[in-house]
Amino acid sequence: MSLRLAQFIEALGGTLEGNPDLRIDRLAPLEAAGPQDLSFLSNPRYQQQLAASRAACVIVAPALREAALARGACIVADDPYVYFALATQLWKRVHGAHVAPGVHPSAVVHPEAVVDSTATIGPLCVVERGAHVGAGSWLKSRVTVGEDCHIGARCIVHAGAVIGADGFGFAPQKGQWVKIEQLGAVRIGDDVEIGANTCIDRGALDDTVIEDGVKLDNLVQIGHNVRVGRHSAMAGCVGVAGSATIGAHCTVGGGGIVLGHLTLADHVHVSAATTVTRSITRPGQYTGMFPIDDNARWEKNAATVKQLHSLRERIKALEGLLQNNKIERP
């Protein structure tokens, strides 16, 4: 089913430059879009692709209006990327399969669990005793919500996610491990999305907390007693160790690691594959990965890095000699 450009404008706003009755058959990336497709350009660096694109219509910022008109129809929006995101939601509402609220026959919901009447519990999900699933939330397939864990309103939890497994807590005793029972739960706010096979462990004593609007990608591990601030986002394979605190509006790139008991201030952005080994108290972008290189040069650079401490000590000794006038200045 196609949509007219006028339908996008009616639903999402923006300024249309072109035929409102032009029909759109699909949404597509700029370089692959065809004559019946809607696309977008948010980064001016790709303006050459705009001129070459075959798209029926392109969503652009006001600064690119003239360039877009030179090739055809356009929708002018303050933030083309956000507009395109909203366009995908509109498209899915019109074309996607409708999922009715309720509990799938194969799901297991404990009699003492609370599932809002507008929530959707998918195939083979398990909702344990005392758990709560809020209004409009959707658990896809094979999601487990542990005992006493709380999921807020309008959340999406993708297949295989586990909310409220035991945190990793053991006390060493004479070469063996004594289990520390995890007595807390997990509290997830409203409008949270949790990716496939992501695990959020229950707290040891207090709860693990995921605040409103957080977005977690697939295969993310959140340890016990972690707190993730509102509207933060983490890409795939991120690991956050126990009792770490992530501020609001933070991002962690794919494969990033945050060690336990650390704190990240609000608006901290951690690059992919970076390991955070100390608390970060100031907003900003942080990167800690060793750059890729061909192996021979990488080994030489790694060997040099191992010598930095001794080189530092030698420089300090030389500076001391200079200050004490024990060697002549050149």
Domain residue ranges in the chain? 3-95, 102-286, 295-330
Task: Determine what percent of the chain is predicted with pLDDT higher than 70.
Answer: 98
Q: Please give the average per-residue pLDDT across 298-312, as a whole number.
A: 90
Strand, helix or coil at 246? strand
Same fold, 3-95 and 102-286: no
Q: Is the dihedral of CA 115, 117, 119, 125 positive or negative?
A: positive
Is residue 326 scored above 90 in pLDDT? no
Show the tokens assigned to 240.
């956050």
pLDDT given for residue 233 in this prediction: 98
Mean pLDDT, residues 34-53 taken together? 93
pLDDT confidence bin for 328, thresholds 50/70/90: low
For residue 24, what are its two tokens?
Answer: 């759109």
Confidence bin at 306 (pLDDT 50/70/90):
confident
By DSSP bridging, strand 263-264 and strand 245-246 are parallel
Mean pLDDT of 262-278: 97
**pLDDT at residue 327, rounded to an integer:** 58
- Span 296-323, average pLDDT: 89
Give CA–CA dist 188/218, Å, rounded: 17
The whole-chain average pLDDT of the chain stands at: 95
Q: Is the dihedral of CA 319, 325, 328, 330 positive or negative?
A: positive
* pLDDT for residue 272 is more than 90: yes
Judge whether residue 330 has pLDDT over 80: no
Mean pLDDT of 279-308: 92
What's the confidence (pLDDT) of residue 329?
A: 55
Q: Is 224 a catalytic residue?
A: yes
Q: What pLDDT does 134 receive?
A: 98
CA gap 199, 150 in Å, rounded: 14
pLDDT digits (tens, 9 = 90+) for 120-142: 999 999 999 999 999 999 999 99
Q: Assess if CATH 3.40.190.10 describes domain 102-286.
A: no
Closest CA to 283 of 259, 261, 263: 263
- Which tokens go with 214? 């957080």
| Average pLDDT score over residue span 89-118 | 95
Residue from 224, 249, 267, 309 carrying the catalytic annotation:
224
pLDDT above 70: residue 105? yes
Stretch 302-325: mean pLDDT: 88
At 38, which helix (H) or strand (E)? strand 37-40
* pLDDT at residue 321 in the model: 84
Beta-ladder partners of 264: 246, 280
Instruction: Summarize the confidence of residues 169-182 as an average pLDDT.
Output: 98
For the domain covering 3-95, report its CATH number. 3.40.1390.10
What's the CA gap between 260 and 241, in Å, rounded?
A: 4
Q: Stretch 258-263: mean pLDDT, rounded?
A: 98
